Amino acid sequence: MNDRYAAITGWGMYVPERVMTNLELSTMVDTSDEWIRSRTGIETRHIADVREATSDLATRAAWEALHRADVNPDDLDLIIVATCSPDYHIPSTASQVQDHLGASRAGAFDLNAACSGFVYALSMASQAIMSGGASKALVIGAETLSRWLDWGQRDTCVLFGDGAGAVVLEASDRPSGLLSYVLGSDGSGAELLILRNGGSRQPPRGMMPPEGSLYMNGKEVYRFATRVMGKAAREVMDRAGLTADDISLFIPHQANLRIIESAARHLGIPMERVFVNVNKYGNTSAASIPIALCEAADSGRMQPGDNVCIVGFGAGLTWAAATLRWAPPEAAPDTSLPRRLMRWSRYPLARVKSLIHRAERKIDGFEDELERRRQLVERARRNGHHTGGAAGSNGHSPNGHAAASVSKVEEPEKAVTK
Q: Which residues pair with 250 in a beta bridge?
A: 274, 309
Specify the residue, 108 or 255, whose C-beta has the smaller distance to ligand UT7: 255
Residue number closest to ligand UT7, CB atom: 218
Specify the residue, 63 or 313, whose C-beta has the smaller distance to ligand UT7: 313
Kindly tell me which residue out of 19, 31, 109, 189 binds ligand UT7, with binding defined by CB under 6 A.
31
Name the segment binding ligand UT7 (CB under 6 A); options: 9-17, 217-225, 321-329, 346-354: 217-225
Kindly tell me which residue out of 84, 121, 255, 292 binds ligand UT7, with binding defined by CB under 6 A.
255
Q: How far is the CB of 259 from ligand UT7 (least distance, A)?
A: 6
Specify the residue, 219 or 358, whose C-beta has the smaller distance to ligand UT7: 219
231 lines the binding site for ligand UT7 (CB under 6 A)? no
Specify the residue, 34 or 369, whose C-beta has the smaller distance to ligand UT7: 34
312, 82 contact by CB (below 8 A): no
With vertex at residue 43, the alpha carbon angle to CA 38 and CA 47, rounded to the nearest 5 degrees, is 135
Specify the residue, 129 or 276, whose C-beta has the smaller distance to ligand UT7: 276
Kindly tell me which residue out of 109, 151, 215, 222 binds ligand UT7, with binding defined by CB under 6 A.
222
Binders of ligand UT7 among residues 96 to 115 (CB under 6 A) are 115
- CA dist 12 and 234 (Å) reads 28
Specify the residue, 219 or 361, whose C-beta has the smaller distance to ligand UT7: 219
Binders of ligand UT7 among residues 33 to 92 (CB under 6 A) are 35-36, 39-40
At 265, the amino acid letter reads: R
For residue 74, which of 347, 400, 409 has the smallest C-alpha distance?
347
SS3 90: coil
Q: How far is the CB of 197 from ligand UT7 (least distance, A)?
A: 19
- CA dist 418 and 412 (Å) reads 10
Show the binding pattern over residues 256-285: x = contacts ligand UT7 (CB under 6 A), - = does not.
x--x-----------------------x--
Specify the residue, 154 or 343, whose C-beta has the smaller distance to ligand UT7: 154
Q: How far is the CB of 25 from ligand UT7 (least distance, A)?
A: 8
For residue 149, which of 317, 16, 282 has the smallest C-alpha distance?
282
What is the DSSP annotation of 129-158? HHTTS-SEEEEEEEE-GGGG--TT-HHHHT
Show the binding pattern over residues 122-141: x = contacts ligand UT7 (CB under 6 A), - = does not.
--------------------
Please identify which of the residues 67, 283, 294, 386 carries the catalytic annotation.
283
What is the DSSP annotation of 291-349? HHHHHHHHTT-S-TT-EEEEEEEETTTEEEEEEEE----SSPP---HHHHHHHHHHHHH
Number of residues interacting with ligand UT7: please give it, by CB under 6 A: 20
What is the DSSP annotation of 60-84? HHHHHHHHHHT--GGG--EEEEE-S
Kindly tell me which residue out of 10, 290, 314, 316 binds ligand UT7, with binding defined by CB under 6 A.
314
Q: Is 309 considered catalytic here?
A: no
167, 11 contact by CB (below 8 A): yes
- CA dist 93 and 291 (Å) reads 18
Specify the residue, 188 or 336, whose C-beta has the smaller distance to ligand UT7: 188
Q: Is 383 considered catalytic here?
A: no
Q: How far is the CB of 253 from ligand UT7 (least distance, A)?
A: 6
- CA dist 11 and 369 (Å) reads 46
Q: Is 89 considered catalytic here?
A: no
- CA dist 370 and 364 (Å) reads 10
Q: Is 196 exposed, middle or buried (0-12, 13-18, 19+ CB in 10 A)?
A: middle
Q: Which residues pair with 316 in a beta bridge?
A: none
What is the DSSP annotation of 183-206? EEE-GGGGGGEE--TTSSSS-SSS
Q: How far is the CB of 225 from ligand UT7 (least distance, A)?
A: 5
Instruction: Please give the residue ranges that form the binding site for ligand UT7 (CB under 6 A).
Output: 31, 35-36, 39-40, 115, 154-155, 158, 216, 218-219, 221-222, 225, 255-256, 259, 283, 314
List active site positions.
115, 253, 283
